[in-house]
Structure 1
């Protein structure tokens, strides 16, 4: 089972940031590394956040992820569930500072400094994501996550300043050939997120349970079942009896297979609810349907 720590937003005592402090952090490896060795530039307990922050043990990358809002946490779930994603680096620093400072000046913007100092701000991008490219190999994309309300509720002056910061961030990544986008939380599917929240605690299960033998037996059972005609609870009860395994264990295995995409469903249009039917497919059943369609059009 995977558990996360939710940390309420709180006011962090302000401290004067010095260039020496920043350089020490860089020298120690903060903001560098990949996968398990990556160290976020910002951690939950070091900054005030919007809403609840989360320290989340990774299920794709085996390290703690530091997510500064509910929006970041929910977007992180989508990334973890995406099979094309192979690395997630949150709170990624845009270094060197001199470059973002120079970009601001070139765009005619007032450079950003840490409060009460003349130390240029270290910009950060919420997520730097490594994905498997369509033609093979890897590609990096960058995503910043905001609430629409977070932008709309700003004063005109504050909104202009935020848009300037986003423009600096976008140009920084454009110079590196990296696709950068702003993700508005309100554009994410609430049902998709709700389903992922239910499944994530089953993303990692005992090695004794996550075996090809059990995967095959569940797959065969689903292929022979009309999953959309009975409640999910009844389906799992029948599966429990067929496998001679406790109901709770079968439920965990079933949810694990949904998370790992060994079982398939429409995440954006179906709710995982034990009291209601859940139309579930297997990769094998889809392959058979494709073959049948090809024969029909031959």
Structure 2
């Protein structure tokens, strides 16, 4: 599908009217799509678990950070490629900072900036908070002709969000995340959904009990999963999927940020939380 081109305010208004950059949850439509802009690395579209919609990412780094957000228990909504429309306030902020507000290439039309992630967090008391996250590779901050423009754009983005009451704006790079965490989350995500017979609460609880029994002493992750799968009367491949699913559901808790999860490697120390599965089952039944 052909990417969009903005030459007049009418073009912007038309896409706003079509819902781009609007809504939340399953109804949100990203302002930018993968076909609209050149991407750094491999762009992709990914079905979200929290939102139930298709997400659009312009780089592998964006996808990696998305996995972190999906894994977080605090995150309740993820809106990528979120627009910062060039309001009079935004343009005034740029002037105060001594920054020329960006324009669409070849036009005098003020550019629609975007923040990579607008995230909704839920506090223990149930209240919600919006935070903004911009994702960039470290190489973007190496000396280059574009460095001044990059820094100015980030400075402007942060200031605009602050003026709109979103004080929690942060920059995320590959160093922020770490390769082990992302590799583990990519591996675990293959267990994001289960076949119907593996969704049964008694099967999952039995698997957890077996896992807790066999997770004593040093043994390979594959060996521990195989023993738990045998005790639960499920094939080993299903046991692997169950393990991944239960980690994602926080019923199995372990350090995924620092130790690589490989079937042939040693199983990291883990703790079992049966209540996490019971809570998920109750939500699905509601």
* TM-score, L = length of structure 2: 0.90
> How many residues of Structure 1 are paired with residues of Structure 2 in the alignment?
272
Match status 1:46 vs 2:36:
yes
Aligned to 1:5: none
**Which residue is equivalent to 1:166?**
154
Residues 122 and 129 of structure 2 are in contact (CA less than 8 Å); yes or no, is this contact kept in structure 1?
A: yes
Q: Which residue of 2 aligns with 1:185?
A: 174
1:167-204 Cα offsets, whole Å, 9 max, x none, are 11111111122111111222212111110010111112
Q: 2:83 corresponds to which residue? A: 93
Tell me whether 1:24 sits opposite 2:14 in the alignment.
Answer: yes
- SS of match in other structure, 2:198: coil
1:182-230: CA deviation from partner (whole Å, max 9, x where unpaired): 1122221211111001011111222331222122112211222235521
Deviation at 1:154, TM superposition (A): 2.5
- Higher mean Cα deviation, 254-263 or 127-136? 127-136
Shift, 1:25, TM fit: 0.7
Secondary structure of the residue aligned to 2:152 is helix
Unaligned runs of 5+ residues in structure 2 are 276-286
Write the distance in 1 (CA, Å) between the matches of 2:44 and 2:35. 10
The answer to whether the aligner puts 1:221 opposite 2:180 as a matched pair is no
Q: Which residue of the partner structure matches residue 281 of structure 2? A: none
Q: Is 2:117 the partner of 1:136?
A: no
Equivalent position of 2:163 in the other structure: 175
Aligned with 1:250 (options 235, 239, 245): 239
Moved more, 27-36 or 268-277: 268-277
Higher relative contact order (CA 8 A, sep 6+): 1
Specify the alignment match of 2:279 in structure 1.
none
2:258 and 2:216 map into 1 onto residues whose CA distance is 16
**Counterparts of 2:3 and 2:196, CA distance in 1:** 45
Aligned residue for 1:72, secondary structure, equals helix
| Residue number in structure 1 paired with 2:140 | 150
Q: Does 1:205 align with 2:170?
A: no
CA 1:86 to 1:228, structure 2 compared with 1: closer, same or farther past 3 Å? farther
Contact 1:30–1:39 (Cα < 8 Å) also in 2: yes
Matched, 1:241 2:230: yes
Q: 1:91 to 1:14 in 2, by over 3 A?
A: closer
* Structure 1: stretches of 5+ with no match in the other structure: 1-11, 286-298
Provide closer, same or farther for how the CA distance between residues 209 and 252 of structure 1 changes in structure 2, counting only shifts above 3 A. Answer: same
Q: State the TM-score, normalizing by the size of structure 1.
A: 0.86
User: Retained in 2: the 8 A contact 1:218–1:239?
Assistant: yes
Q: 1:153 to 1:72 in 2, by over 3 A?
A: farther
Q: Structure 2: how far apart are the matches of 1:252 and 1:245?
A: 11
Task: Answer yes or no: is the 8 Å Cα contact 2:81–2:116 preserved in 1.
Answer: yes
